[in-house]
Amino acid sequence: MKQLRVILADDEPITLLDIKEILIEEGYKVIGECEDGVSAVNLAKILKPDLVILDIKMPVMNGIDAAKILSQERIAPVLLLTAYSSNEFIEQAGAAGVLAYLIKPVTKNCLIAASKIALKRAQEFNVLRDENLSLQDALETRKLIERAKGILEKEYLLSEENAFKKIRQISMKQNKSMKDVAKAIILSLS
């Protein structure tokens, strides 16, 4: 099994050390440590970890703002580790794309369970994102083909079926996707 690579960010050195020890005992590899959100984001961009564990209250940039950047830019999944349990922080964390939220003090079992859940959720989101992109591409292709068929029908007085066959024939003859052929027809005949 692949060793999971983690970045830790907490401005409390003792907490940082405790979390690091727990992770190492469980076979994780701590590839970066820092004390503020900006450093965490920068390290994550460079090191591409499997998971980033952030405290909320840190200097320069707090953990929620860092989590938002890490999530929006799809750099790494985020687990927030904090002493703050207010609904406001929890709501902000959820809006920032945080995948797990733990209240300090943290036990080994809680930390490992939360990190595994965060990683699993990140994998599921990636699959859904890929499926969504694939569906968007299929829909765009379908729209382009329909538009190109309409142009061929009008320009050459073809039936819908024959217009589709023409696009398919060109695609096979030129070894291009039907989407590319449809784009070319639209550009050249509209």
Closest by alpha carbon to 142, among 188, 177, 190? 177
Rounded to 10°, the helix 108-156/13-25 angle is 80
Q: What is the pLDDT of residue 123?
A: 86
Q: Where are the domains of the chain?
A: 5-106, 132-189
Question: Do the domains 5-106 and 132-189 sit in the same CATH topology, yes or no?
Answer: no
The answer to whether the CB of 185 falls within 8 A of the CB of 174 is: no
Mean pLDDT (the chain) is 92
Q: What is the pLDDT of residue 169?
A: 95
Q: What's the pLDDT band for 82 if we cut at 50, 70, 90? A: confident
Q: Which CATH number fits domain 5-106: 3.40.50.2300, 3.40.50.880, 3.40.630.30, 2.120.10.30?
A: 3.40.50.2300
Q: Which class is domain 132-189?
A: mainly alpha
Residue-wise pLDDT for 103-130, tens only, equals 988 889 999 999 999 989 988 888 888 8
Q: What's the pLDDT band for 180 if we cut at 50, 70, 90? A: very high
What lies within 8 Å, CB to CB, of 61 at 6+ separation is 36, 37, 38, 41
d(CA 169, CA 121): 43
Q: Which two tokens stand for residue 67?
A: 């989590």
